[in-house]
A and B are shown apart, each in its own frame.
Chain A
């Protein structure tokens, strides 16, 4: 009985963590739209969620005022050939009690296809 309870608790915890992470990824994906990282030839303006083929949160640092996600992305726009793998840093800051996206810093980008 005890083993079953522990197993159920584990499954519930894992599901909750997974769901939270999933919602965090979706929130990040949505917040990126309209943001621009990089510059000149090495520049990406997030124009639609469909450009983000993959988004993985690699790390998260947070304090009362600031949250910084280190993410990896697979990016592709349908109007041009080429797929890109990028590392970026997404910075949020607390404004009026809510975390708002402040900037997206491009750490690296490479053409993969």
Chain B
């Protein structure tokens, strides 16, 4: 069930890179959001949540054309600049003039993402119902990246794999060039001024990115929160039943299974992700940017794994509590929200108690102590 000695060594190597603090001398910036992966993914341990909120912007032309504005600095708009760039009067990247909307994004915990990465595409696609053939008011469709692959990571499910996410996170979040993106991020499409980027490119190797991917691949899902008190146990059980009754579980699918893997810790495992990893229309109030196939109001069903570690809720952190987050569900989730609103105070409390205990079903691959 656990990791082999080699895998544990890979995990530890990757954690070092994940926690590495970059400076302008070893590659940070000139534009960046954070100076280390663990600056944002930090609480309660490396891989957890953070209080940073980043800004994204894209261009949407109804009914379904989305431009990620790569050539104008989109979709991630960096919010910080190194002193060398600030000396040129540039404090951050601006929202591109052609953007039709912008979005705020909180830092999600990344515990158990190796298991999400290992779920076969077919498993996710089996939950699709793009034309709502079953007539339950809930559709659900997969997003696809620009190269046509199934998306699963990110609030709009625009990224296919953990490896691709990391390869792009270094340049976009920290301004670290890689062999896969060997030139500095532009400033809204314009090259960075000469002399503002002292480190030679690429600023990190493919091997180091792979190490970070291994760290995340082997990072255990959060362990289950055990409730000792008998009365509370009953309340959690009741909450679990209500979760199904008000049809939260229709999109927040409690469990999927990983495919065959040479890595025993990821091989045919149950994953208590509480998401179908598909896009759903969440209504006009929550709508922000488009991304690939996702329209502004479509979001990937948020993973509830590790929900209790979060301090802000929904994609942009607008909800301060789980209760607030439920109450702001709209679109395809409106019926479930209304069913929640109609519950008795006792049943609402039971549901919230259950949500606080959500975690993975099995002994973690490795705890990140």
Contact = CB atoms under 8 A, between A and B. Distances in A.
Contact of B68 (A79, A80, A111): A111
A70 to B, nearest CB: 11
A75 B168 CA distance: 19
B147 interface: yes
Interface of B: 64-65, 67-68, 70-71, 75-76, 144-149, 154, 158-160, 164-172, 178-183, 202, 206, 291-293
A44 B144 CA distance: 12
A80 B169 CA distance: 23
Interface stretch (A11-19, A21-29, A102-110): A102-110
A42 B168 contact: yes
A80 B146 contact: yes
Contact of A77 (B76, B148, B183): B148
Given A89-B182, A103-B179, A111-B70, A40 B148 contact: no
Chain B CB within 10 A, most for which of A40, A51, A75: A40
Contact of B206 (A46, A80, A81, A103): A103
Contacts, number: 114
A34 interface: no
A108 B367 CA distance: 39
A39 interface: yes
List 3 tightest A-B contacts by C-beta distance, closest first: A40-B168, A39-B168, A39-B167
A105 B182 contact: yes
A82 interface: yes
A39 B146 contact: no
A41 B147 contact: no
Contacts of B167: 36, 38-40, 43
A45 to B, nearest CB: 5
B178 A39 contact: yes
Given A77-B147, A89-B182, A105-B179, A38 B168 contact: yes
Given A41-B76, A105-B180, 20 more contacts: A39-B164, A39-B165, A39-B169, A39-B170, A40-B164, A41-B68, A41-B154, A41-B158, A41-B291, A43-B159, A43-B168, A44-B146, A45-B160, A46-B147, A79-B148, A80-B144, A107-B182, A108-B71, A109-B71, A111-B146
Chain A interface mostly: strand
Nearest to A43: B164
A107 B172 CA distance: 14
Contacts of B206: 103
Given A51-B147, A84-B146, A39 B181 contact: yes
Chain A CB within 10 A, most for which of B76, B146, B291: B146
A49 to B, nearest CB: 13
A46 B165 CA distance: 17
A104 B180 contact: yes
A39 to B, nearest CB: 3
Interface in A33-64: 36-47, 51
Contacts of B67: 111
14 contacts: A38-B167, A39-B168, A39-B181, A40-B154, A40-B167, A41-B159, A42-B181, A43-B160, A47-B148, A78-B148, A91-B179, A103-B206, A109-B71, A110-B71
B58 to A, nearest CB: 9
Nearest to B150: A79
Given A39-B164, A39-B180, A106-B181, A80 B293 contact: yes
Contacts of B71: 108-110
Nearest to A45: B147
Contacts of A43: 145-147, 159-160, 164, 167-168
A39 B148 contact: no
Contacts of B182: 89, 105, 107
Nearest to B177: A105
A89 B190 CA distance: 19
Contacts of B147: 43-47, 51, 75, 77
Contacts of B164: 36, 39-40, 43, 45
Given A80-B292, A103-B180, A111-B67, A40 B144 contact: no
B154 to A, nearest CB: 8
